A and B are shown apart, each in its own frame.
Chain A
Amino acid sequence: MNIYLRLVYRNLRANLDRASLFFELIFPLFFIFVQGFGLNGIVPPFEIGNGRVISYSLFLAAGAVTLTVINGGTNAGTQLWFDRKNGMFEQILMGPFTRAQYILSIIFATLIIGVAGSLLVFLFAFPVLGASFNPSLSGVLTIAAALFLGTVFFGAFAIALSVALKSSETFQIVSTFAFFIFLFTSSVFFPATSAPSAIQVASLANPLTYTTDIFRAGLFDAMTPTVSLELGILALEAVVMFAIAVIVFHRIRV
């Protein structure tokens, strides 16, 4: 069996915390079915680009799907963190693998969790989203690109964070905190343009904003030149963060 398949299988079996996975799925569903519907009555439908007008519950449901992406990304950090805490990191690096294979296996496992999680949430949200979902090939590709790049960025980010915070028990706290910062400075809950101006600035650097905007554009057929630009920026951010993670990872002291 391929070396990556073996390592990815191990990561998924050994380092996944089932309880937190469960909450990662439940959390977005609350937004979709409670908050989305709750606010629908007081928020009028609005335009999201390319002349597409959608209701708030649709807007939020799409955001909730990409929310799962950063949830999945955190798993990359947790996997590495557990391996270092439990001495498996060194053990694996003394086995027939390279450091690159190991870190890629974490990223692959994270992609599986992130993308599978998003698809599951998407399926659950289908009663809400289904009516306005008319998939085109370019739409599906756009959606795939958003989920892929978003997961790579947040996976790499979590890996870097977990390396920095290995020696303390604070990794879980800090990553939860970072999660909320990313969440509330993004376009998951409201369009960036209607946020307070300080948040708008933060929102422009936030890869979750791009992930969400691109995902929505793909889903609701609302591509605009801005979204294409966002795709480019997100790709760049993902590459940079991945490079940072690799560098930090290679500096881990054993």
Chain B
Amino acid sequence: MGVNQLSRLYGDKPAVDRVSFDVERSEVFGFLGPNGAGKTTTIKMLTTLLQPTSGGANVLGFDLKTEGRKIRERIGVVQQQDSFDQGLNVETSLDIYGLIWNVPRTERKTRIEEVIARFGMEEFRKMPTVDLSAGQRRRVQVAREFIHDMDLLFLDEPTVGLDPIVRRALLDYLKERVHKGLTIFFTTHILEEAEYLCDRIAVINQGRIVQIDTPENLKRRFGSARAVEFKLLQGSSEALASALSSSADVTRLVQDSGTGAYRVTTTRPESVIPEIYRLAERHAVTVSSIYIAETTLEDAFIHMVTDDENGRETERGLG
């Protein structure tokens, strides 16, 4: 899939603003961004539901503007929004979904059994879809997409509402399918998930792509701010905290109100750690535990988005 300067205006406000990227065959491409960044709008355009205002794309070798029908025959979509057939039970709704996709009856039967087993839907397979819990319904919606063949699957926050066990089952199932050649376009707000699944990640903010890279590279490049966490035997020390916050190497200091642990954001943990011990001695308190926290994709993500916001502020200031 190749996306070129794809844009969509709502009124005169751009929801997606000249977005370009490529997705390789059998790749899991993550699309991350804050609420309202333009992820769903991008998916709606790439699945031919919504007309782009400008720009274009090539999806599976077909042109987005002129060959929409051919594209739709080869993709699957799990929308962010709920979707279910209200008059049917789970099994029948899977079957009829397969039917409208023209999947032969015997093939439908095997695939239905497969997804019912994989997504743990045995105990509600005969229940009407309207009576399901939100998470159960989401499971059916995700499972349904695997009844038909496809080369490219769009998943718009598929794990919302799923319990941890099903979520893990889904991610593993997705990995399996990718091994067999499926390409996935994936959005989520759960960054561990993105890290676990995605080969590359694009970060989008206010309609524009901020970065595209592998999760490791993004962490390395933007996760530079590290965190040091420590606890005091005495619980808290106002004096230590205020002295430490004014230290040059410390970007931010917060204390967790629940555990009482202090979390220091810094670019130089190696000098902050001795500093903590020095201050502890001076203020007659004891450090009971201390460690350097792993950089997470979440740190990197927050860093990228905040940087981008600041960049925009400056742009606006200059303009």
Contact = CB atoms under 8 A, between A and B. Distances in A.
A91 interface: yes
B44 A254 contact: yes
Nearest to A85: B86
Residue from B82, B84, B86, B101 with most neighbouring chain A CB atoms (10 Å): B86
A94 B77 contact: yes
A110 B40 CA distance: 33
A95 B87 contact: no
Given A15-B87, A96-B69, A254-B50, A10 B99 contact: yes
Interface size class of B (residues with CB under 8 A): 20 to 34
A13 B96 contact: yes
Contacts of B96: 9-10, 13-14
A90 B100 contact: no
A95 B79 CA distance: 12
Given A1-B102, A6-B102, A14-B93, A96 B83 contact: no
A119 interface: no
Interface in B181-208: none
A14 B77 CA distance: 20
Contacts of B48: 94
Nearest to A6: B100
B307 interface: no
A13 B82 contact: no
A98 B72 CA distance: 10
A207 B69 CA distance: 37
Nearest to A91: B83
B84 A13 contact: no
Interface in B27-76: 44, 47-50, 69, 72-73, 75
Contacts of B75: 94
Among the interface residues A13, A14, A15, A90, which one has the most CB atoms of the partner chain B within 10 A?
Answer: A14
B49 A17 contact: no
Nearest to B85: A14
Given A16-B87, A86-B84, A87-B82, A92 B100 contact: yes
B81 interface: yes
A13 B92 contact: yes
A97 interface: yes
Contacts of A13: 85, 87-88, 92, 96
Contact of B79 (A1, A7, A90): A90
A6 B96 CA distance: 9
Given A10-B100, A95-B100, A95-B101, A90 B88 contact: no
A87 B156 CA distance: 14
Q: Which of A91, A95, A97 has the most CB of B within 10 A?
A: A91
A249 to B, nearest CB: 14
Nearest to A12: B87
A96 B84 contact: no
Nearest to B154: A94
Contact of A86 (B44, B72, B86, B99): B86
B86 A15 contact: yes
B101 A96 contact: yes
12 contacts: A1-B99, A14-B88, A86-B86, A87-B84, A90-B83, A91-B79, A91-B83, A94-B47, A95-B72, A95-B101, A96-B101, A97-B100
Query: 6 closest pairs, A vs B, by CB?
Result: A87-B83, A14-B85, A96-B73, A91-B83, A94-B77, A94-B47
